[in-house]
Amino acid sequence: MQPHRFKTFKFTTDPNAEEKIRDVVGLYLNPPTNAVVLSLDEKTQIQALERSQPLLPLRSNQPARHTHDYRRHGLTSLFAALEIATGKVVGKCSERHRGADFLRFLKSLNQRYQGRELHVVLDNSSTHSTPDVRAWLEAHPNVHFHFTPTGASWLNMIEAWFGILTRKSVRRTSFRSVRALVRHIQHYIDHWNDDPTPFVWTKKPANIIRKAVGRGR
């Protein structure tokens, strides 16, 4: 028994959860021919923390260590899209994460994949469905949104990449300014794209529905 250890869980209460799960997972397992499937989200409030002392490197039987104290130098938000087929990431840092900032990033993606049909997996953030975003989608029928169920953002593959960015890069580095943080993130994205690793989805929709929806009823 280890009562000090615990894990959290969460069931989705979205009434359309089953339909959304089948839609999103269907894109991962059987993407449309000649289309680009992107997993998109924003990682908000990434802090530029300057540690009081340099990070101590890994040693035998000892993890890397850093001081508990730091100085805060501000925040940035990262809009990022993971290309499901190749594992490549397109990212752009922004001072804010408003609907206008999201739409600006969406337009840049449409320009990047000009002439291609885009299927975009994203969560239910209010910035993803502003009137301006909806109007832009109506004028660009080649772009299709596929929303994850409410409370199930883990179904969005870009979240796994955000975790890698945090654990292996941002959390292990000290930044003297937001500008230094932004440069670091862009360098990490460029390095990742030199040899991208696609994420392979293996779970069938029925298995996910049974665990994420069935027990919550």
Sign of CA dihedral 114, 134, 151, 170: positive
Q: What is the mean pLDDT of the chain?
A: 88
pLDDT at 91 (0 to 100): 97
Check: pTM over 0.75? Answer yes or no.
yes
| Residues 73, 187: Cα–Cα separation, whole Å | 19
In this prediction, residues 76-100 reach a mean pLDDT of 96
Is residue 213's pLDDT more than 90? Answer: no
Residue 71 phi, psi dihedral angles, 5° rounding: -115, 140
Structural domains of the chain sorted by starting position, each given as residue range(s) with its CATH number in brackets: 33-51+69-200 (3.30.420.10)
Tell which residue, 215, 206, 217, has the closest CA to residue 18.
Answer: 206
| Residues 8, 147: Cα–Cα separation, whole Å | 23
Tens-digit pLDDT profile for residues 150-194:
988 889 999 999 999 999 889 888 889 999 999 999 999 999 999
